[in-house]
Amino acid sequence: MDNKLKILIAAAEVTPIAKVGGLGDVIGALPKALAKLNLDARVIIPFYGAIDRSKYKIKLIKPNIKIGEASINPRPAGSHPRHSSVGVNLWQTNLPNSAVPVYLIEHNFFDGQEIYSTALADDPADIKKYLFFSRAILASLKVLDFKPDLIHLNDWHTAAVAEMLKTDYQNDEFFKQTKTLYTIHNLANQGPAGSKNYMAEGILNSDIISTVSPTYSREILTKEYGAGLENILLKRKKRLYGILNGIDTDFFNPQTDKLIELNYSADTLKKKTVNKTALQGQLGLPQDKNIALVGLVTRFVWQKGVELITEEFSKLSCQFVFLGAGEKRYEDGLLNLAKKYPDKFKIIIKFDEKLAHEIYAGSDIFLVPSRFEPCGLTQMIAMRYGGAPVARATGGLKDTVNSKVGFTFKKFDSTEFYKTLKRALAIYYHQPKIWRQLLINGMKQDFSWTKSAKEYLKLYKKLLK
């Protein structure tokens, strides 16, 4: 008998098959790391119209699974020829370079080219769509005869599964032993539908809840960070855990990264300056290997706190390179600085993977002034590339940045941020040995998904014992 733990991970995204953001990255990486720990981890997502079925060699395995739910109204039958509107087709592929099965539920709810219908968190079309997906997950498991020990639900899209197990499936032998873990990746998107709030439902109905860093798991119990759900979270406090995300340590590896000018490691840190001067040259900044280069890569949105970078910062002896895109008010604020101080500030407004890697490789210091940050990846990537983060001590930033690897400030305040960056620059210019050790400490940290997966495994076992 195969006695591996059986885990079904249900989510709206999985990288690289269907990615919008960080949620997809977690779902793409965690099951592979769990498989290496000898778990039978599988993923289930909707079969979106945008998914490339030939690239991922997606095969039909179970046609026409009946969902049989009158309250769910799909688009009129006949709007798409591939399937009937009363059933779903179940397809399968693997996560690339792995044996992790990915199941895809096909139905005309998911045929559109966009993963989410709109940028709105509470678009009614999406609520119906993911409620249907949640129902289809449980029906598919029975047809597959895959009886998971645990269903790992992620964000509001799949939260309804926990409630369905307690109601519709309450007396179903098949799911008798099945437990649920609900992971909150983004508390801001709650899927509210009239009187129902799916994020809240997931928190209340799951056996155990987690979020993506220990500090954030405590912060969300407060009014400041709880997004209106702090009282509901407080009710489940004993069952709420925080596990840090990992980063893709193969993709973000200064020793092998093909997107950067020159590869290097902790032992050949001097070569990092070649990346710095190349970046300066490419962006038209004065080329000087001695001047501190301060980087930032982020979405320019309220959460990320970039407005703390004010004109005052032009007084500091360093160069700033910022890459990001988002809201115009933040973009314009930064672009004004670049206009006024062209030799100090370079602002690049776009999404650019290669330039992001070049900034990680070329920066001495990396800024992360977030208002709140469930986990945050850029500080970890920066450290892996031998940069020292200057970060606000909040959420996952607090858990990953300490005085051995970087600098933090507490209050969300421009002056505190400024002073902290100034302190970092003083060490950079005047205490090179201490500076070097700081960078090496950061580079030697373990940011791998294996580490995170071990934490998840501990949590699964706690639930199943």
Which spans of this chain sit near ligand ADP (rule: CB under 6 A)? Answer: 21-22, 297-299, 323-325, 351-353, 356, 375-378, 381
CB of 362 or CB of 376, closer to ligand ADP: 376
CB of 74 or CB of 374, closer to ligand ADP: 374
CB of 16 or CB of 21, closer to ligand ADP: 21
Rounded to whole angstroms, the Cα distance separating 76 from 84 reads 10
CB of 132 or CB of 409, closer to ligand ADP: 409
CB of 206 to ligand ADP, least distance (A): 23
CB of 350 to ligand ADP, least distance (A): 6
CB of 89 or CB of 211, closer to ligand ADP: 211
CB of 328 to ligand ADP, least distance (A): 15
CB of 332 to ligand ADP, least distance (A): 16
Tokens (6 digits) for 59: 């095969």
Tokens (6 digits) for 135: 């129902």
Burial of residue 342, with CB atoms counted within 10 A of its CB: 0-12 exposed, 13-18 middle, 19 or more buried: exposed
What is the number of other CB atoms lying within 10 angstroms of the CB of residue 459?
18
CB of 42 or CB of 276, closer to ligand ADP: 276
CB of 213 or CB of 280, closer to ligand ADP: 213
CB of 41 to ligand ADP, least distance (A): 22
CB of 101 or CB of 374, closer to ligand ADP: 374
Contact (Cβ atoms closer than 8 angstroms) between residue 191 and residue 127: yes
Tokens (6 digits) for 107: 């139905």
Burial of residue 72, with CB atoms counted within 10 A of its CB: 0-12 exposed, 13-18 middle, 19 or more buried: middle
Q: Which of 403, 382, 412, 388 is nearest to 219 (CA)?
A: 412
CB of 381 or CB of 401, closer to ligand ADP: 381
CB of 254 or CB of 324, closer to ligand ADP: 324
Tokens (6 digits) for 334: 């930064």
Rounded to whole angstroms, the Cα distance separating 447 from 244 reads 9
CB of 36 to ligand ADP, least distance (A): 22
CB of 134 or CB of 452, closer to ligand ADP: 452
Q: 150-188: b or e for each residue (b if 16 or more CB lie within 10 Å)?
A: bbbbbbbbbbbbbbbbeeebeeeeebeebbbbbbbbbbe
Rounded to whole angstroms, the Cα distance separating 14 from 37 reads 20
CB of 372 to ligand ADP, least distance (A): 10
Spacing of C-alpha 212 from chain mean position? 9
Edge-first strand listing for the sheet containing 388-392: 345-349, 318-326, 292-300, 365-368, 388-392, 407-409
CB of 353 to ligand ADP, least distance (A): 5
CB of 282 to ligand ADP, least distance (A): 15
Rounded to whole angstroms, the Cα distance separating 321 from 293 reads 7
Residue 18 is given by DSSP the state B
Could you give the 3-state DSSP secondary structure of residue 217?
Answer: helix
CB of 381 to ligand ADP, least distance (A): 6
Could you give the 3-state DSSP secondary structure of residue 14?
Answer: strand
CB of 360 to ligand ADP, least distance (A): 7
How many distinct helices (H) and strands (E) make up the chain? 14, 17
| Backbone dihedral region for residue 412 (phi beyond 0: left; psi -120 to 50: alpha; all else: beta) | beta
Q: How many CA atoms lie within 13 A of 125 on its CB side?
A: 13
